[in-house]
Each structure stands twice: as structure tokens, then as C-alpha cells.
């Protein structure tokens, strides 16, 4: 696989060779080889003796392209002349950064928990005050400044369990709900449990290709085996059991394949799995003794007609028998997505289903050394898991705000797929859910050659050109994985409608010009 290396600029600067506007570099070179200008060999900790897994780890969503985008923003601020006036950050699912406004109920509760005087003095609805009071009563010293339990505040874990019960129509134990600082933390904590050799083989984890690069990054960090299974682009990115089996079988000579990651709704692909598909996956996991990671952080983001979100937990329970009682599952959720989009507040949870109680106790113990997830992230979880209900003073406004966000996302999901499909050389599956489109595009041979000459993968070459010429920042498909010889990128659907329209128009012009240039 093509690796992109980060080379810090300051070492170059010491040599007087390169100066780059970035605060800590991000100059690109094209291999993991040293570039021959090392001056730091005398350092106690250097690239020669650094944890090699850290070097391997790549996270394209915040990779070199995004660092370059930040540099360009600074250049623009300083008055640099560019063919565009602003950078459009379509690289990351960061709704508020793209202009989405916060849900009032969440922010009012947060303010009251932070500054409890507001419960008395502020002019807030009764349910806001009641919620803030109940949360404060469940915090040590009635302060958000106290540590909470490592796996979260009991009051909020109970709210999450009730949310899951309403969602699925099946019992959820609040003791099996563990709050976290966003889903990523929880996913990493569970992945880490698999760091062990089994029958002499390194543990391997099945992940979709394309995937959200937290998975590839964490597997690299933990030295676990990445076993990629391709999603079927020709069938709206469906998950095919045959392909799972191919991937697992091929990997079995190297790895003890022990877990299966499914992202539903899909990131970066936007597919929403059918219930039949989930049943088949659960059967497959059971047959092959795979622990399921169900990344369900986009469960509220389903747009396409006929698409519906089914949780793995619900399907598993309804399959009954050995599936219901036997298949081990961790399901992940976040307040960063959905309609709240509160990425910066770092709130999330996981539900553990059928997990060995000894293992669960070990997991909770391991988490305890990290003290606790942020109390205000947990407060946000409370608001998302137990939003106002009909009759509550905040209900009407909450419903209006939530509906507006989701309807607008729905319209944008539609617009983006249509636009890409109207462009020559592009095909884009419908954005059934989540917050991204992952269109496929063709590149003229001359562009591929130019990329080769520039020592960049073709899709990275294309994305850099796009950024430098238009200010649009997307993430090249190679950061998520794609079938060899195909080219994609991920763009979010998050720019507000007018900006998204503008972005798509600029994009079309760029692509025309680009294909013209390399025809």
C-alpha cells in the first residue's frame, strides 16, 4: 500500500533547506524511507527507535491534505492571492464547523450544569432546569468538576439503556452501557482487548474496504492484523457474505481472525444495511466465531426512501436462540453525528451484548485508569439519549430544530449524489445514510502518469490539485481503501445548502478543466 510520510519541517528548517507555513510540517515524501537529511540521530527518542506502529499509523481524515488546507487558510488570511477566497472543508464530518446550529435544549442543559446559578436565575424551560438538576444530583459534590465513574454516570447510563429499549423494543441493561469520550475511544478500548496471539497467530480483524480510517489506524497502532473485505460498489456498497468469507479465508493463514467490524450506516460509503443483510452477517459471525463491532454512530442519519436503520442488537435478539444469546457484540454511538453534531463535546457510548462478564470486568477495569469521560460530554449524551418528549416545554422547539437539520441533510444527500452522477466520468451511489458521498471517478492516463511523476497516488494527486485550485478539501479514496485501479474521494454532505451548491459548481468546473488538461 502506498504510504504517505510526515516529515517535520523544523528539522528541515534547522538545515536551512525548507520553510513551510505549517506549524509542524506536513511536507510530503513518498515512502517510509528516511530522506537522507536526518540530523537528530543523537536524540534519545528518534525515528530509528520509535514505536514502529506509530509510524505505520495513518489517519487520512486529518492527514497531509488537511494540514495543507489549514496552511492555505492562513495564507488567505495573510492576503495571499489564490483563485478562490475560502477553503471549503468537506473532509470531516464536522457539522457545526460547516454552519449547523446547536440544538437549544442541549446547550441550555449544558449551561445550567456548568453554572448551576442559571437554574435559579436563567429564563429556561422547566424541563431544562429539571434535567440539569438531576444531572448535577448524580455528580460528585453536585459539580461537573468532579470525576464521574469511569464507565459513566449511572443516571445517564440508565437513560441510554432506555433509549436503546425504545429504539429496539428489547431490554437493555444499563450495566452493559459504558459511556465514552466519543465513539473512537470506546472502539479503541474494545479493539485493544484482542491484542493477543491465538495458536501462535496475531489476531486479525475484518474491516470493510472502504472503511473509516480510525479502524486501520487503531489496528496499526495495536499491531493487530487488518483483514479487509470489499463492499460491493456495484450494489450500492452492499456487504456480501461471499466476500467476507473470501477475506477471512485468505487471511487465516496469517491471522487468527477474531472480530468483524461493520459500519452501518456506512462511512465513507453511505449505505444502509438491510435487515436481511444484518441477519446474514450475524449468522456468519456466529458460524465463524467472530466478535461483532457494530459502528452505528449514524443511526439517526438515514435518508433514502425504503432505507431503515436496524441495530445489530435488535436483529440479533429477534433471530432468537443461539444468535440472541451467543453472538458477542459491541455497538457504538456518538453525539458527534445524528442531528446534534456535537463533535467538540466528546460524548458517546457503547453497549456490550453477550460479552463474557469476566472480559467486561477487565474492560471496565482498564478504562478506570483513564479516570472518566468528560462530564459535559456525558451531559450531552443525556440530552441525546433522553430528548424532550411530547408535552415537555422544550419539545416543540427541539422537534423543529431536529427535523430541520435532518431534512436539510436529506436534501443535501440527494443533491450531492445527483450532481456527481451528472458529471462525466463520475458515478456515485445514493447517499442512503450517514454524512458522506464516496463517488468514483475516472482519470485520464496522462493524469495517472503525472501523479506517478509527482510520486503521489493518482487520487491524492487529484485531491491536492482540487485543493490548490479551488480550496475544496476532500479526502482521497486511498485513505479509506478502494479496489486497486479505482479512484474515489470522500466528501461530506455538511456544507450548508447554498455553500454545497457553490462547492459542487466549482467542482464541476475544476473537473472539466482537469480532464481537459490531462486528456
Provide, rounded to whole angstroms, the least separation between the CB of residue 503 and a copy of itself: 16
Are 350 and 330 in contact, with CB atoms under 8 Å apart? Answer: yes
User: Would you count residue 95 as binding a copy of itself (CB under 8 A)?
Assistant: yes
Contacts of 90 (CB under 8 A, 6+ apart): 472, 473, 474, 491, 492, 494, 495, 503
Please identify which residue in 52, 83, 169, 497 interacts with a copy of itself, judged by CB under 8 A. Answer: 52
Residue 490 has phi, psi (to 5 degrees) of -105, 130
User: Would you count residue 43 as binding a copy of itself (CB under 8 A)?
Assistant: yes
Provide, rounded to whole angstroms, the least separation between the CB of residue 255 and a copy of itself: 13
Are 440 and 487 in contact, with CB atoms under 8 Å apart? Answer: yes
User: Would you count residue 23 as binding a copy of itself (CB under 8 A)?
Assistant: yes
User: Would you count residue 110 as binding a copy of itself (CB under 8 A)?
Assistant: yes
Q: Which of residues 53-92 bind a copy of itself (CB under 8 A)?
A: 53-55, 57-59, 62-63, 70, 89, 92
User: Would you count residue 375 as binding a copy of itself (CB under 8 A)?
Assistant: yes
* Other CB atoms within 10 Å distance of the CB of residue 152: 25
User: Would you count residue 50 as binding a copy of itself (CB under 8 A)?
Assistant: yes
Are 493 and 431 in contact, with CB atoms under 8 Å apart? Answer: yes
* Other CB atoms within 10 Å distance of the CB of residue 396: 11
Stretch that binds a copy of itself, among 273-281, 351-359, 436-444, 445-453 (CB under 8 A): 351-359
Provide, rounded to whole angstroms, the least separation between the CB of residue 241 and a copy of itself: 18
User: Would you count residue 155 as binding a copy of itself (CB under 8 A)?
Assistant: no
Q: Which of residues 246-275 bind a copy of itself (CB under 8 A)?
A: 258-259
User: Would you count residue 503 as binding a copy of itself (CB under 8 A)?
Assistant: no
Provide, rounded to whole angstroms, the least separation between the CB of residue 428 and a copy of itself: 25
Are 65 and 463 in contact, with CB atoms under 8 Å apart? Answer: yes
DSSP assignments along 211-245, one per residue: --THHHHHHHHHTPEEEEEE-BGGGTTB--HHHHH
Provide, rounded to whole angstroms, the least separation between the CB of residue 27 and a copy of itself: 10
Please identify which residue in 29, 114, 307, 397 interacts with a copy of itself, judged by CB under 8 A. Answer: 114
Site string for a copy of itself, 120-149 (x = CB under 8 A): -------------------xxx-xxxxxxx
- Specify the residue, 447 or 472, whose C-beta has the smaller distance to a copy of itself: 472
Stretch that binds a copy of itself, among 52-60, 312-320, 390-398, 440-448 (CB under 8 A): 52-60
What span, in angstroms and rounded, lies between the C-alpha atoms of 425 and 93? 26
Residue 6 has phi, psi (to 5 degrees) of -90, 125
- Specify the residue, 216 or 299, whose C-beta has the smaller distance to a copy of itself: 216
- Specify the residue, 146 or 389, whose C-beta has the smaller distance to a copy of itself: 146
Closest CA to 199 of 245, 250, 246, 253: 253
Strands 225-230 and 201-209, how do they pair? Answer: parallel
User: Would you count residue 96 as binding a copy of itself (CB under 8 A)?
Assistant: yes
C-alpha cell at 195: 491484542
Amino acid at each position: 500500500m502506498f504510504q504517505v510520510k510526515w516529515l517535520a519541517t523544523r528539522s528541515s528548517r534547522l538545515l536551512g533547506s525548507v520553510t513551510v507555513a505549517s506549524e509542524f510540517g506536513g511536507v510530503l515524501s513518498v515512502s517510509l524511507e528516511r530522506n537522507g537529511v536526518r540530523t537528530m540521530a543523537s536524540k534519545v527518542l528518534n525515528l530509528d527507535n520509535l514505536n514502529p506502529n506509530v509510524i505505520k499509523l495513518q489517519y487520512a481524515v486529518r492527514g497531509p491534505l488537511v494540514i495543507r488546507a489549514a496552511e492555505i487558510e492562513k495564507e488567505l488570511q495573510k492576503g495571499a492571492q489564490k483563485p478562490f477566497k475560502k477553503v471549503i472543508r468537506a473532509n470531516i464530518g464536522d457539522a457545526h464547523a460547516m454552519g449547523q446550529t446547536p440544538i437549544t435544549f442541549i446547550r441550555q442543559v449544558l449551561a445550567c450544569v456548568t453554572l448551576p446559578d442559571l437554574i435559579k436565575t436563567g429564563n429556561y424551560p422547566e424541563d431544562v432546569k429539571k434535567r440539569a438538576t438531576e444531572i448535577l444530583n448524580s455528580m460528585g459534590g453536585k459539580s461537573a468538576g468532579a470525576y464521574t465513574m469511569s464507565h459513566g454516570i449511572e443516571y445517564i447510563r440508565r437513560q441510554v439503556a432506555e433509549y436503546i429499549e425504545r429504539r429496539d423494543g428489547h431490554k437493555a441493561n444499563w450495566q452493559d452501557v459504558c459511556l465514552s469520550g466519543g465513539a473512537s475511544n470506546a472502539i479503541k478500548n474494545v479493539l485493544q482487548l484482542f491484542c493477543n496471539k491465538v495458536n501462535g497467530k496475531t489476531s486479525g480483524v475484518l474491516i470493510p474496504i472502504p472503511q473509516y480510517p480510525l479502524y486501520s489506524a487503531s489496528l496499526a497502532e495495536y499491531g493487530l492484523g487488518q483483514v479487509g473485505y470489499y463492499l460491493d460498489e456495484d450494489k450500492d456498497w452492499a456487504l456480501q457474505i461471499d466476500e467476507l468469507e473470501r477475506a477471512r479465508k485468505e487471511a487465516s493463514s496469517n491471522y487468527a481472525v477474531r472480530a468483524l467490524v461493520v459500519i452501518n450506516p456506512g462511512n465513507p460509503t453511505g449505505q444502509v444495511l438491510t435487515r436481511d443483510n444484518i441477519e446474514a452477517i450475524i449468522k456468519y459471525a456466529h458460524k465463524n466465531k467472530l466478535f461483532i463491532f457494530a459502528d452505528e454512530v449514524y443511526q439517526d442519519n438515514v435518508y433514502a426512501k425504503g432505507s431503515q436503520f436496524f441495530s445489530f442488537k435488535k436483529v440479533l435478539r429477534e433471530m432468537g436462540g443461539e444468535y440472541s444469546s451467543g453472538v458477542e457484540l459491541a455497538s457504538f454511538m456518538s453525539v458527534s453525528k445524528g442531528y446534534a453534531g456535537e463533535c467538540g463535546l466528546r460524548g458517546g457510548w457503547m453497549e456490550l451484548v453477550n460479552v463474557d462478564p469476566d472480559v467486561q470486568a477487565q474492560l471496565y477495569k482498564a478504562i478506570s485508569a483513564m479516570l472518566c469521560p468528560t462530564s459535559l460530554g456525558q451531559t450531552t449524551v443525556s440530552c441525546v439519549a433522553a430528548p424532550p418528549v411530547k408535552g415537555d416545554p422544550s419539545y416543540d422547539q427541539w422537534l423543529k430544530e431536529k427535523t430541520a437539520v435532518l431534512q436539510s441533510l436529506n436534501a443535501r444527500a440527494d443533491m450531492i449524489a445527483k450532481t456527481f452522477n451528472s458529471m462525466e466520468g463520475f458515478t456515485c451511489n445514493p447517499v442512503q445514510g450517514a454524512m458522506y458521498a464516496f463517488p468514483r471517478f475516472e482519470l485520464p492516463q496522462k493524469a495517472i502518469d503525472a501523479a506517478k511523476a509527482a510520486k503521489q497516488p493518482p487520487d491524492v494527486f487529484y485531491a491536492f490539485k482540487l485543493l490548490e485550485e479551488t480550496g475544496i478539501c476532500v479526502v482521497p479514496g486511498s485513505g479509506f481503501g478502494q479496489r486497486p485501479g479505482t479512484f474515489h474521494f470522500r466528501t461530506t454532505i455538511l456544507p450548508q445548502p447554498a455553500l454545497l451548491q457553490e462547492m459542487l459548481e466549482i467542482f464541476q468546473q475544476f473537473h472539466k478543466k482537469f480532464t481537459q488538461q490531462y486528456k
